Amino acid sequence: MILPIRTYGDSVLRRKAKPVEVFDDELRRLADNMAETMYRAPGVGLAAPQVGVGLRLIVVDVSHDEVRDQLHKIANPEVLEVSVESERCEEGCLSVPGFSEAVVRPHWAKFRGQDMEGKPFILEAEGLLARCILHEIDHLNGILFVDRLAPFRRKLLRQRLKKQFGTLSAPEFQPTR
């Protein structure tokens, strides 16, 4: 089932998500629906708050085209370690449609999470996969990619967002620097 994606200005995007405590068919159905929504959008990642659910759940698939063979469904993801080496790459977001900006993120990261049965696991990722998981974990903490921009870029983007989305309700930006 395709779920509606919440967009910039929706207060749910600024709330910290709660840990997943119950691993049942409902959770698995939510993760499946999130994946279907992400593919349809199309995107490479989606966090539960982006579909209005305040749980620490993300789906990520950085495979290309019709392959779709790298789907990660992660409950309660945590960053354990990141590389000192970082990369500046363009990022967009399904909740901020039509906008992209260069964001600096670590090249490599190590994560802890749980699968859809509640079993803990460790995942090491680099490049696009690491970037995507870090982006989605930000969503779980009420942070949008626009919050990670330099102050000048944030100011310019804020003006563009105000034009497209009208009023900027909820906390507009939460600088992370």
Three-class secondary structure of residue 24 per DSSP: coil
CB 111 within 8 A of CB 81: no
38 and 46 Cβ atoms separated by less than 8 Å: yes
**What's the Cα-to-Cα distance from 72 to each of 15, 62, 76, 174, rounded to whole Å?**
23, 9, 13, 28
3-state secondary structure of 42: coil
CB of 103 closer than 8 Å to CB of 91: yes
In Å, how far are 6, 58, 110, 177 from 76, measured between CA atoms?
21, 8, 14, 24
- Asked if 136 is an active-site residue, the reply is yes
Spatial separation of the C-alpha atoms in residues 171 and 35, rounded to whole Å = 28
Report d(CA 80, CA 130) in Å as an integer. 12
Say which of 78, 90, 117, 136 is annotated catalytic. Answer: 136
Q: Look at residues 71, 12, 9 and name the one whose alpha carbon lies nearest to residue 38.
A: 71
User: Which residues form the catalytic set?
Assistant: 136
